[in-house]
Amino acid sequence: MATSKQDMQENKLNYRRFKEGDYITKNFGKQIFNEDKTYKCPTYVHRTPPCQGSCPSGEDIRGYLDIVRGIELPPEGVSMQEYAFRRSTDANPFPSMMGRVCPAPCQDGCNRNQVEDFVGINSVEQYIGDTAFKEGFKFDNSAEMTGKKVAIIGGGPAGMAAAYQLRRKGIASTIFDDHKELGGMMRYGIPGYRTPRDFLDNECQRILDMGNIETRMETRVGRDVELADVEKEHDAVLWALGCWTGRGVPIEGWDETPNCVSAVKFLEQFNKGEMKYTGKKVLCIGGGDTSIDVVSVSRRIGTLADYSENPETVVNGDSSHADHDSSKNVPCDLVTLTALFKKEEMTAAEHEVEDATIEGVQIMNEVMPVEIIRDADGRATGMKFVDSTWENNAPVAVEGGKEYTVEADIIVAAIGQGGDMSGVEDFNNGRNLMDADNLFRVPGKENHYVCGDIVRPHLLTTAIGQAYIASETIENDFNNVEMKKRPKVDVHHFDLTDKLVETGLNVDSYDADEHKDDGQRGTDSDNYAIHNYEDRSEQEIITSDELFLGHFDYEARNLRDTDVPSSDEVLGHMAERQISLEEEKAVAEAGRCMSCGMCFECDNCVIYCPQDAVFRVKKDSKTLGRYVDTDYTKCIGCHICSDVCPTGYIDMALGVA
């Protein structure tokens, strides 16, 4: 769990070697200065950091933070910014978007939470993406085309990410989407003050600019074009439909009440420019980021002083405000958000909840809806709630708790989504979703693959991560490469061999005959092996107890500026909410990264080694991951280097019992 903002403001938290209640004095001198009887010596072990292990798209977060901070140097002729962009987008082609709206499970996983506060990964990612936009960085499209072509059904984050990854493999694609513009939920599900359209347009166009990616917009497969025709024209079909139908609140009469609507439709009509005002009293049931968007949009667009229409009409697409002059709008009388959980347990990002409160949204926590209040015409005029708790994965009314009535002209449900399977009913698994195996093939449907929300509604970054795996599966199937399972830690790993090649430090080819008599000894003097290095990144995620946290001083997070209007200023306020970090702050924030599982060249092991056994490699042989080495003729196995390594990069190994 990330450190709360209150703790950050009131306490300067830091690592403590001793906890409350410790009473045994430990003689570290005896532990350190007595040689190890197992004859173990240091081995440099690369592991996956928990930020990356918590990222559904598997971004090499530590990698691009190390680039921004200056630890990992780019190749000659490439700027730090472009090199960081390349590393970031290896997994995710939308750094500007994800840097703004991803709820950042990576930051919850960050080991720096055990020191004082997480690294602002999102803010650095936004800096990388925004800089790429300003500098006009492009994607590499040098991969030779294979002659294969994939139909991608859906132009949202999953479909676009899949087209990008396939093009990098030399596989062409056609994207079918029933909207006018690409972007999916990034465009039609999230308001523009969170995903600015110029940055979104740029990130979509950058993918199309790679070439061999066609688009067929306002074309729905199963309605405007037959699936059989799509199959004939392509070697495979990848379903990335997204989920465009909202789940209703499970209480009596929801489906029959005309002004009870879904958050998906509400936000889509706003983002299309069709809805420019709403009812005077808006009630949203939710607690996640989508519900925050509903209430924040409502506060921004407001209502009319003489409002008299039915607010669901425009939500359902039966009317339009496209020509409306919004200067006539007035604030809504009441905008309410209810959630089943405590405020600190809501799934929405903490800052989003705080921003909504500042903007004048009334938030009610730990309450459950029990009844829709209707008038004689069957329209909702409000909803009844009772105090509740969460037990056995379901809300339970508190015995003797209070009852609340919230008035509303429109009630919006933001409690879940499903797919629209009309026209492709054969793929419906009975839950308006599609089944997928562990490699994202559609079971029982040859040459059909699936990724994104239509598998299981989740985060944008989850859809992007699935798109990468699906693209690899497609490539392997085209090449008849059998792959039964993915790596245990399935992320985009740093590869030291690739880094050595990039820096001109290629290892030699291995000749078995030449080394048949040496028993594989003496690899420190040969260049066919990377001496003293082990890559466990596909098997292990490094935890904070493997680090030397005492190395890190308290260092406050470098916060992005935000433009959050007060309740009096929010009407008509469509300016971007998250302001990108300036370069100096981005570099400083990246510098807070503890580089868990990878050397960041602090020199502790070299300085503290009493035998001078640990040494820096020569400058002309140095690169990230190969900064220090060990002279085994001097090492006595005292394990000081391992104790003082902040990043957990050094294990005592190579010993015998």
| Residue-wise pLDDT tens digits, 242-251 | 999 999 999 9
CA pseudo-torsion sign 410, 188, 247, 356? negative
Query: Where do the H-state alpha helices sit in 145-254?
Result: 157-168, 185-188, 197-208, 227-233
Check residue 656 and give its pLDDT.
45
Burial of residue 341 (CB within 10 Å: 0-12, 13-18, 19+) is middle
**Which residues, 6+ apart, have CB-to-CB distance to 378 below 8 Å?**
256, 257, 258
What is the Cα–Cα distance from 546 to 204, expressed in whole angstroms?
A: 41
Comparison of pLDDT for 351 and 524, the residue scoring more: 351
**pLDDT for residue 506 is more than 60:** yes
Residue 381: CB atoms within 10 A of its CB come to 16
Average the pLDDT over 312-327 and give the result.
97
Extract the runs of DSSP E, i.e. beta strands, from 154-278.
172-177, 213-217, 236-239, 245-246, 260-262
Check residue 632 and give its pLDDT.
85
Check residue 40 and give its pLDDT.
84
Q: Look at residues 88, 68, 48, 84 and name the one whose alpha carbon lies nearest to residue 461.
A: 88
Average the pLDDT over 573-598 and give the result.
97
Check residue 340 and give its pLDDT.
97
Check residue 633 and give its pLDDT.
86
Check residue 484 and give its pLDDT.
81
Question: pLDDT category, 81, cuts 50, 70, 90?
Answer: very high
**pLDDT for residue 5 is more than 70:** no
CATH architecture for residues 248-416: 3-Layer(bba) Sandwich (3.50)
Weakest mean pLDDT among 188-192, 510-514, 651-655: 510-514
Check residue 456 and give its pLDDT.
95
Check residue 258 and give its pLDDT.
98
Residue limits of CATH 3.50.50.60 in the chain = 149-244+419-478, 248-416
**pLDDT for residue 1 is more than 90:** no
Check residue 527 and give its pLDDT.
65
- 149-244+419-478: which CATH topology? FAD/NAD(P)-binding domain (3.50.50)
Average the pLDDT over 359-373 and give the result.
97
Check residue 399 and give its pLDDT.
93
pLDDT for 394-433, tens place per residue?
Answer: 999 999 999 999 999 999 999 999 999 999 999 999 999 9
What percent of the chain clears pLDDT 70, i.e. is strictly above it? 90
Check residue 15 and give its pLDDT.
57
Check residue 655 and give its pLDDT.
53
φ, ψ dihedrals at 380, nearest 5°: -75, 135
Average the pLDDT over 264-293 and give the result.
97
Check residue 117 and give its pLDDT.
95
**pLDDT for residue 22 is more than 80:** no
Average the pLDDT over 57-78 and give the result.
96
Check residue 528 and give its pLDDT.
64
Question: pLDDT category, 18, cuts 50, 70, 90?
Answer: low
What is the Cα–Cα distance from 244 to 596, expressed in whole angstroms?
A: 39
User: How confident is the prediction for the chain on average, in pLDDT?
Assistant: 92
Check residue 499 and give its pLDDT.
92
Comparison of pLDDT for 532 and 257, the residue scoring more: 257
Weakest mean pLDDT among 196-200, 283-287, 635-639: 635-639
CA pseudo-torsion sign 155, 156, 158, 164? positive
**pLDDT for residue 293 is more than 60:** yes
Residue found under tokens 């072990």: 45
Q: Look at residues 454, 418, 452 and name the one whose alpha carbon lies nearest to residue 248.
A: 418
Question: pLDDT category, 41, cuts 50, 70, 90?
Answer: confident
**Which residues, 6+ apart, have CB-to-CB distance to 568 below 8 Å?**
none
